[in-house]
Amino acid sequence: MKILFLACLSPKTGNHTTAERIRSHIESAGHTCELRDAADFQSPAEVANLISRNPPFEAALAIHLFRAGRLLLDIQVPFGVIFGGTDINEDVKVEKKRVVMEQVLLKARFAVAFTDKLKEEAELFLLSQSSKIYVQPQGIRSEVTENFCWTDFLRSSGLSSEPVDELRVFLLVCGLRRVKDPLYLLHVFSEWHCENPLNVLVIIGPKIDPVLTAEVEAFVQRTAGVFLAQERSQQELHAAMKRCSAVVNSSVSEGMSAAILEAMDLGVPVLARDIPGNAAVVQHEFTGLLYSSPQEFVHQSQRLLSDPALRERVVRNGKLYVEECHGLKQERETYQQLTCVRLHAWTIKA
């Protein structure tokens, strides 16, 4: 079966990584899955025209109910959707977007939520389609490059402290866009750095929002203890994560943060903002630490640095959690089954 797969494909983002992984699951079952950036299309009519070209696509898939899913409303082949997180957590609050997302969910053969909480939110805010919404957590695969120099990484980020091995580096992994709120911690963290210069914060991720990127760059230039690193390949990013003191999340909304799960898999402690998407995967003081304010972030960071037993516990439990709940095998089987039963079987019947 030939499948069109639409997603937001900004380079080196969690969305892109997730889409590539799901595409590989589908293709490993013998299908052809063509991954395209939703941003390349202006209207559902453009996608409908692409679908019908010879040889035509027989089915479609989309990540994010509004940004990508709305582009499938005019197609005449079956399709499935995967909730992205911001669609259910943020876009559903906008009436015009919510109406469109309801139409997408009604027409879709199936929908996938990363967490039970995300499914509950979808059922609450959209027309109830509980029977077609499946819960499948993201599968995680961490890869670390051998050709990675921690010192060079820190130097390229603007750090000049000697020796770098004594630094306590907190790594904020996020694309520079509003929903990730990269400015949230910076002022308070800088004050903490001034009290103890060994504590530094490095922000790393693709520059998605030009306006926000300019704000972050300007803040970093005038603020002590906060640095901005160039985006890296996934293997290089994972190598940097493995060397840092903790991986940080400061988002206002998350579906399921791949960076958090990758950190757990790598044996790195996680400090995550206490929002529903993060609390669904981070159990406070068991698999990681949650915080609700910049001041509480500093407090939890101090606990992590001063309490080896706490650090060991969250690292051990975090890795076990990912191994038990975010395996690639179950994710692959879920998407292959949904593709076969909900898309392929429907195509044959039609």
**Does some domain include residue 52?**
yes
Do residues 133 and 40 share a domain? yes
Lowest mean pLDDT among 25-34, 147-156, 190-199, 244-253: 147-156
Per-residue pLDDT tens digits for 268-320: 999 999 998 899 999 999 999 999 999 999 999 999 999 999 999 999 999 99
pLDDT at 197 over 90: yes
How far apart are alpha carbons 65 and 7 in whole angstroms?
A: 10
Contacts of 2 (CB under 8 A, 6+ apart): 31, 32, 34, 55, 56, 57, 58, 59
Do residues 48 and 94 share a domain? yes
- Are 326 and 140 in contact by the 8 Å Cβ rule? The answer is yes
Do residues 82 and 180 share a domain? no
* Residue of 5 and 15 predicted with greater confidence: 5
Do residues 321 and 189 share a domain? yes
Do residues 132 and 79 share a domain? yes
Do residues 82 and 94 share a domain? yes
How far apart are alpha carbons 21 and 28 in whole angstroms?
A: 11
Q: How long is the chain? A: 350
Do residues 122 and 245 share a domain? no
**Does some domain include residue 144?**
no
Tally of domains in the chain: 2
**Does some domain include residue 41?**
yes
**Does some domain include residue 304?**
yes
Q: Is 336 exposed, middle or buried (0-12, 13-18, 19+ CB in 10 A)?
A: middle
Do residues 9 and 88 share a domain? yes
What pTM did the predictor assign?
0.85
**Does some domain include residue 334?**
yes
- The residue segments making up the domain with residue 236 are 150-325
Do residues 165 and 311 share a domain? yes
pLDDT confidence band for 162 (50 / 70 / 90) = low
Per-residue pLDDT tens digits for 98-146: 999 999 999 999 999 998 888 988 888 887 667 889 999 999 888 888 8
Nearest alpha carbon to residue 60 among 349, 347, 348: 347
Q: Is 183 exposed, middle or buried (0-12, 13-18, 19+ CB in 10 A)?
A: middle
Bridge partners of 284, per DSSP, are 288
For residue 239, give the CATH number of its domain.
3.40.50.2000
Do residues 221 and 341 share a domain? no
Contacts of 24 (CB under 8 A, 6+ apart): none
Do residues 337 and 317 share a domain? no
Do residues 220 and 271 share a domain? yes
pLDDT for the residue 183: 97
Long-range contacts of 65-69 (CB under 8 A, 24+ apart): 65/91, 65/101, 65/104, 65/105, 65/111, 66/91, 66/97, 66/100, 66/101, 66/104, 67/8, 67/38, 68/6, 68/7, 68/8, 68/38, 69/101, 69/104, 69/105, 69/108
**Does some domain include residue 167?**
yes
What Rg, from alpha-carbon coordinates, does the chain have?
21
**Does some domain include residue 145?**
no
**Does some domain include residue 293?**
yes
Within 10 angstroms of residue 233's Cβ, the number of other Cβ atoms is 12
